[in-house]
Amino acid sequence: MDKIIIRGGNRLAGTIPISGAKNAALTLIPCALLTEEPLTLRNLPRLADIDGFQHLMTQFGVSVSIAGGRPDDFGRVITLQATRLTGTTAPYDLVRKMRASILVLGPLLARAGEATVSLPGGCAIGNRPIDLHLKVLEALGATIELAQGYVRAMAPDGGLSGGDFDFPVVSVGATENALMAAVLANGTSRLTNAAREPEIVDLCNLLVAMGAEIEGIGSSDLTIHGVKRLNGATYKCMADRIEAGSYACAAAITGGAVHLDGAEAADMAATIHALRNAGVHVETGKNGIFIDANGPLRAVNISTAPYPGFATDMQAQLMALLCRAEGTSVLTETIFENRYMHVPELNRMGAHIETSGRTAIVHGVTKMTGAEVMATDLRASMSLVIAGLAAEGETMVHRLYHLDRGYARLEEKLALVGADIERVGE
């Protein structure tokens, strides 16, 4: 198994290309199940999770072809075609490592009238039940059974009827599954208190390009008029706002000046606001975002929240940055109850962080030192890399399979802007 070695202290300067969004891509890919025609997706990130989802799609008879690209091309173009579905079961062996696998449930149910999907895996960051996925599909007319670690969903003869559902709490994944199920339902569906993350908007825009009829895109109230069939499309995946925010923190902790090429400021308002409050200069433009951290970092208080609030997926990275800020910061994690597993590892590097329940108190320190650290989940992994870039000496980050799930060519991109970083075998 590989590890990353970082020799900290280099100021980052230059341009980092931002890849397509992992969380959007994993929602766009299963849309291929909704049509017999080809679906071509552009700007997909080169990630282990994307590869895994492609392999999962082949289980249902979907053909997958990947366009060739230049070695310096950070995006991929993939064409998927589900001319005829040959299966409707997503087995445990393929989905146990990837929570996004549950997103085949809605489109399989809509197109084939049935789906059997293993309960998902993914990062161990706390309780992430799929009860809302199942309840909203039941509201659309499905019958759900749980047995031996699998979800089995059945539509009545003639297909889903459509229906209304008011989410008791905001759920991104359940909103996505509901959208993909509702677009082929026989009637009209109304989703209230739906998630409105940019990735949801990206999914809606693709579905509309395929012929779906959706009202209220970008709001928490969505109305979907079911159609008889969807067509194929060619669509560009949105830029990854979490990757962009992560590299912004990496640049800032080193006092760097970095252009995040392709980042969409409109999708990152809460992250940009937090960075500015922390003393980081942020300029936004049509070609990306410029980060310039030429002054002292300041402490900030942040609570995670559903979009447009501060993303839980940015909490660990901001925490790493605030380890070097002047004063004491308070972070409150409202989404997941077990998302501070990076704290002991950051403290091993000289940080001074205390946790109590869902609150973390970060006392800024004047320096951090390199250490051997263990990645516990995807975003925690990146927080350790960020800390290592500013730490004195050498940092070794183990368990890179977490990082490879969410950051395409991480060491290459950081090396582009002056980081002393390399991947080596254990």
Q: Which residues are CB-contacts of 96 (< 8 A; sequence separation ≥ 6)?
A: 118, 120, 121
Exposure class string for 213-233: b at 16+ Cβ within 10 A, else e: ebebeeebebbbebbeebebb
Contact 110, 181 (CB under 8 A): yes
Given this chain, do its domains 2-18+239-425 and 22-236 carry the same CATH topology?
A: yes
Average pLDDT over every residue of 75-104: 90
Pair 406, 22: CB distance under 8 Å: yes
Per-residue confidence (pLDDT) for residue 72, from 0 to 100: 45
Alpha carbon distance 235, 44 (integer Å): 10
Query: What DSSP letter does each residue of 325-390 carry, written as one string?
Result: SBSEEEEE--S-SS--TTHHHHHHTT-EEEEETTEEEEE--S--B--EEE--SHHHHHHHHHHHHH
In the set 31, 123, 204, 249, the catalytic residue is 123
Instruction: Give the β-pairing of 257-261 and 13-17.
Output: parallel
Q: What is the pLDDT of residue 122?
A: 44
Q: Is pLDDT at 127 greater than 50 in this prediction?
A: no
Q: What CATH topology corresponds to 2-18+239-425?
A: UDP-n-acetylglucosamine1-carboxyvinyl-transferase; Chain (3.65.10)
Tell me the three state secondary structure of residue 191. strand
**Are 94 and 59 in contact, with CB atoms under 8 Å apart?**
yes
Out of 37-41, 68-72, 254-258, pick the least confident.
68-72
Output the known binding site. Answer: 22-23, 99, 128-132, 313, 335
Mean pLDDT score, 47-54: 90
pLDDT at 74: 60
pLDDT band at 96 (very low <50, low <70, confident <90, very high): confident
Report residue 192 as tokens.
Answer: 């209230």
Chain centroid, CA 84 distance in Å: 29
Give catalytic status of residue 237 as yes or no. no
Of 265, 210, 227, the closest CA to residue 28 belongs to 210
98: confidence class by pLDDT, cuts 50, 70, 90: confident
Tens of pLDDT along 239-291? 999 999 999 999 999 999 999 999 999 999 999 999 999 999 999 999 999 99
- Beta carbons of 389 and 369 less than 8 angstroms apart: no
Sorted by where each begins, the domain ranges of the chain are 2-18+239-425, 22-236
CA 157, 162, 166, 171: dihedral to nearest 10 degrees? Answer: 80
Which band of pLDDT confidence, cut at 50, 70 and 90, is reported for residue 378? confident
What is the rounded distance in angstroms from the CA atom of residue 290 to the CA atom of residue 332?
Answer: 27
pTM of the model: 0.95
- Residue 92 confidence (pLDDT): 86
- Cβ proximity of 178 and 106 under 8 Å: yes
Structure tokens at 305: 């929240």
Mean pLDDT of 58-67: 95
Secondary structure (3-state) at 27: helix
Which residues carry a binding-site annotation for phosphoenolpyruvate? 22-23
Tell me the pLDDT band of 401, cut-offs 50, 70 and 90. confident
The string of pLDDT tens digits covering residues 216-236 is 999 999 999 999 999 999 999
CATH for 22-236 is: 3.65.10.10
Output the 3-class SS for 230-243. Answer: CCCEEEECCECHHH
Q: How confident is the model at residue 129 (pLDDT cuts 50, 70, 90)?
A: confident
User: Torsions phi, psi of 339, nearest 5?
Assistant: -115, 30
**Which of the residue ranges 53-67, 70-84, 115-129 has the most confident prediction, judged by mean pLDDT?**
53-67
Between β-strands 233-236 and 39-45, what pairing exists: parallel, antiparallel or unpaired?
parallel
Q: Return the C-alpha torsion angle 386, 392, 398, 402, nearest 10.
A: 0
Q: In the prediction, which pLDDT does 70 show?
A: 52
pLDDT for the residue numbered 73: 55
On the question of pLDDT at 123 being above 70, the answer is: no
Mean pLDDT along residues 209-222: 98
What mean pLDDT is predicted for residues 126-140?
83
> What number is the average pLDDT over the span 376-385?
92
Residue 337: the pLDDT is: 72
Binding residues for UDP-N-acetyl-alpha-D-glucosamine: 99, 128-132, 313, 335
Q: What rounded mean pLDDT belongs to the chain?
A: 93
pLDDT recorded at residue 71: 43
Whether 296 shows a pLDDT value over 70: the answer reads yes
What's the CA angle centered on 273, arms 20 and 126, to 5 degrees?
Answer: 65
**pLDDT mean over 286-301:** 96
Could you tell me the pLDDT band of residue 149, with boundaries at 50, 70 and 90? confident
